[in-house]
Structure 1
Amino acid sequence: MPLIRQTAIGDNANFVSIIATHLEIDAPMVRIALYVCPQTVLSSLGMADDALRLANQLAGERLFEVSRLSADGQPVDLGSAQLRVDGDLRLADGADLLLIPATGSAIERTLNGNPELLAWLATRPASQQLASLCSSACLLAAAGVLDGRRATTHWALAGAFRQRFPRVNLQVDELFTEDGNRFCSGGAQAGLDLCLHLIAWHGGDWLAERVAGALVFERGRGRQSRFAPLLPELLLEDGLIAPLLRWLQQHHAQAIDLPRLARQANCSTRTLLRRFKAATGLTPNDYLQRLRISAAQSALRNPARSLEQVAAQVGYADRATFAKLFKQLCGETPGAFRKRLTRHPATTHNPL
């Protein structure tokens, strides 16, 4: 754990001097390479870059040496901007951490567009830290560096990710995962959760807290599942399961068991279980419970409805069962979720 000395910041026009005390941190400089490709989401790159550079300002020293690189060292056309970089992939050989911002493309397009990175990743030793934000986890997975490891990605890609990378232990509920020197974040703003975790890893938790405060960001926000409606059936390629998910969306409050679902899908229960798990990563019952809790999140936005009424509306006969499942899946009670809505009414849902 790095040593931290706290001192006062002098008068400075920089806003950092206003919102934080100065931290002098005795820690070696960490070299971080940000990989940029045509599929890179500019806001994800900027979020990571800003958090790391802000950490340097608050630390009062260059704790993180941040560079940007591309496969060939040439500027990258991001559509809305031409982004200059500091070098090619050889620059990453000497980095302590390679961080890949989110890629806004479908999995196959991202993989097909980055053969040089995949080849480089496949040669990485276990001692080198590799991190992905949001959808870019597919690049680490395709290179094999997540095999047998816990990982996460954007919740909307979970089904396709599981089908494409069955050797990865996908934990889509998590905002971020850490397994050895492999780090992954969930969707969108979960990338900042991971960046703060990496700042804490190298610079100490106190520094991460100061960066979060400067960015007006709440750490420890629970699970990704509390932000996500379930996997849109349009993202599924299974012609048996996608229509069934649409049917469940309309009938989730009813009494539903496996035989009824099998009849609805016109298949055996054994086939249903196998195909459903392959398509969604969940059993039918687990999916149904998540669907009900997702519906409950929407219903809780109406303050006129009691928790008992919300529970009944989404298919639960008693409030206790509803509350237990809600906390299990969302990381907070229905009451706490509703209270948070009144504090942050515009930030409770994070669509793809």
Structure 2
Amino acid sequence: MAKPTPNPGPRGGEIGILVYPNSQAAAVHGLTDLFCVANSVHHAQGGTSVGEIVVSHWKLSEVSGRIVRTYTTCSGRSQKLAAIILPPSIGVPETSNPSRERLCRWLKARHAQGTALCSVCAGAFLLAETGLLNERTATTHWSHAQELERRFPKIKIEIEKLLIDHGGVFTAGGVMAWIDLGLRWIQKLMSPTVMLAAARFFVVDPPRTDQRLYTAFSPNLLHGDAQILQLQHWIHSKYSEELTVAALARLAAIGERTFLRRFYRATGLKPSEYFQQVRVTKAQEALEFSLHTVEEITSMVGYHDISAFRQVFKKVVGLTPAEYRVRFGLGGKHRG
């Protein structure tokens, strides 16, 4: 009989946070605090310094042109970097420049040594510049998805995901997804017990994987096709009516095949997908701010089959209408 594999226990390690231009200070310091709380829990449970997480901040020096450590929670110890986190930035990052190219070379060198690279929200743009996301799936904040895809067409964007783990490369979606990423690393370098205790301390859920709940439909209205724009306005005002490709093509006085091609080119969505997004958005508003029943809302947004509506709603949002109301409605248990 084979002997059971011994539990190696918390292995700890150093996590570096790259403080690049316009990176979000709240995320940098929030991650630092999160890992420090995890260390406190670890020691309270009888752990030693061997299993703790050392946090360091890194920055491109304007004097030497090198990336240097500017802060560490444990200056007397030297650790191999287990991970480097690229926090969110304020706004969409600028395109590549000599400073960002130096950061990318440094990141690729660390990755070649076994350090995992992790981005949060718009930090994905800097990670994408390294080329390490090419031919991989990745996520970012839902509002940045189109721009990331435009700049880096070799990356497959899965915007519904909140956290994607490729082992040596991680991407996290929303601005606050640094919490989910940080908790994942606490679990990896310490233990699930420490991770759950840290989550309870910050009064947050354990790591999530889906950001559909927090995605708002934001249709492109600046594409320059006046006929398609008029149809979009019509859809938004007549969303509860029976909408067909044939009817919309007739309204635009163009052939159906031409209409389909131009609509997709302008909006990035098929008409059926666009209808669904508009109707689900209206349903979300009703579930959040009205006392109408799910059956009433189903009819209000243009569906006749409540079962079909539930399936569409869950596909787009990630929850059933009833679950969504419990979480986000006026009388919901949780407004997260």
Q: Given the two structures, how large is their TM-score scaled by the length of structure 1?
A: 0.76
- Within the candidate set 102, 110, 123, 1:116 is matched to 102
- Within the candidate set 42, 46, 64, 1:59 is matched to 42
Pair 1:104 & 2:90 matched: yes
Alignment-derived partner of residue 176 in structure 2: 189
Specify the code of the residue in structure 1 equivalent to 2:56.
S
1:163/1:279 contact within 8 Å kept: no
Alignment-derived partner of residue 9 in structure 1: none
Structure 1 residues 251 and 194: CA distance shift in structure 2, 3 A: farther
Unaligned runs of 5+ in 1: 5-24, 75-83
Specify the code of the residue in structure 1 equivalent to 2:310.
A
Of the structure 1 ranges 117-126 and 95-104, higher mean CA displacement relative to structure 2 is found in 117-126
- Within the candidate set 124, 127, 130, 1:137 is matched to 124
Specify the code of the residue in structure 1 equivalent to 2:165.
E
1:48/1:192 contact within 8 Å kept: yes
Pair 1:240 & 2:229 matched: no
Q: Deviations over 1:281-315 (max 9, x none)?
A: 64442343233222211110245201011112222
2:325/2:332 contact within 8 Å kept: no
- Within the candidate set 195, 201, 205, 1:214 is matched to 201
Alignment-derived partner of residue 146 in structure 1: 133
Structure 1 residues 138 and 227: CA distance shift in structure 2, 3 A: same
Matches within 5 A, 1:264-303: 282-303=269-290
Residue 135 of structure 1: CA displacement?
1.3
Alignment-derived partner of residue 26 in structure 2: 43
Residue 67 of structure 1: CA displacement?
0.3
Pair 1:26 & 2:15 matched: no
Structure 1 residues 270 and 146: CA distance shift in structure 2, 3 A: farther
Specify the code of the residue in structure 2 equivalent to 1:51.
L
Alignment-derived partner of residue 309 in structure 2: 322
Q: Aligned partners of 2:267, 2:182: CA distance in 1, in Å?
A: 28
Structure 1 residues 297 and 133: CA distance shift in structure 2, 3 A: same
Q: What SS class does the counterpart of residue 85 from structure 1 fall into?
A: strand
Matches within 5 A, 1:341-352: 341=328, 342-343=331-332, 347-348=335-336
Q: Aligned partners of 1:102, 1:199: CA distance in 2, in Å?
A: 19
Q: What SS class does the counterpart of residue 60 from structure 2 fall into?
A: coil
Structure 1 residues 209 and 305: CA distance shift in structure 2, 3 A: same
Q: Aligned partners of 1:266, 1:138: CA distance in 2, in Å?
A: 41
Residue 127 of structure 1: CA displacement?
3.7
1:153/1:186 contact within 8 Å kept: yes
Of the structure 1 ranges 97-106 and 269-278, higher mean CA displacement relative to structure 2 is found in 269-278
Alignment-derived partner of residue 72 in structure 1: 61
Give the length in aligned residue pairs: 310
Q: Deviations over 1:177-229 (max 9, x none)?
A: 11232111111222211221222122222221111111000235563121221
Q: Deviations over 1:103-141 (max 9, x none)?
A: 11224x164462321233344328431101111111111
Of the structure 1 ranges 129-138 and 251-260, higher mean CA displacement relative to structure 2 is found in 251-260
Structure 1 residues 198 and 180: CA distance shift in structure 2, 3 A: same
Q: Aligned partners of 1:50, 1:32: CA distance in 2, in Å?
A: 13
2:263/2:269 contact within 8 Å kept: yes
Q: Which structure would you say has the larger Rg?
A: 2
Residue 330 of structure 1: CA displacement?
2.3
Q: Aligned partners of 2:250, 2:125: CA distance in 1, in Å?
A: 35
Structure 1 residues 330 and 222: CA distance shift in structure 2, 3 A: farther
Alignment-derived partner of residue 66 in structure 2: none
Residue 272 of structure 1: CA displacement?
6.0
Q: Deviations over 1:70-93 (max 9, x none)?
A: 12277xxxxxxxxx9339xxxx99
Residue 329 of structure 1: CA displacement?
2.5
Q: Deviations over 1:255-280 (max 9, x none)?
A: 33344555667776666656666776
Structure 1 residues 110 and 238: CA distance shift in structure 2, 3 A: same
Alignment-derived partner of residue 333 in structure 1: 320
Alignment-derived partner of residue 80 in structure 1: none
- Within the candidate set 169, 179, 184, 2:156 is matched to 169
Specify the code of the residue in structure 2 equivalent to 1:137.
A
Q: What SS class does the counterpart of residue 183 from structure 1 fall into?
A: strand
Q: Aligned partners of 2:6, 2:62: CA distance in 1, in Å?
A: 36
Specify the code of the residue in structure 2 equivalent to 1:102.
P
Structure 1 residues 264 and 101: CA distance shift in structure 2, 3 A: farther
Matches within 5 A, 1:298-313: 298-313=285-300
Q: Aligned partners of 1:330, 1:147: CA distance in 2, in Å?
A: 28
Residue 232 of structure 1: CA displacement?
4.9
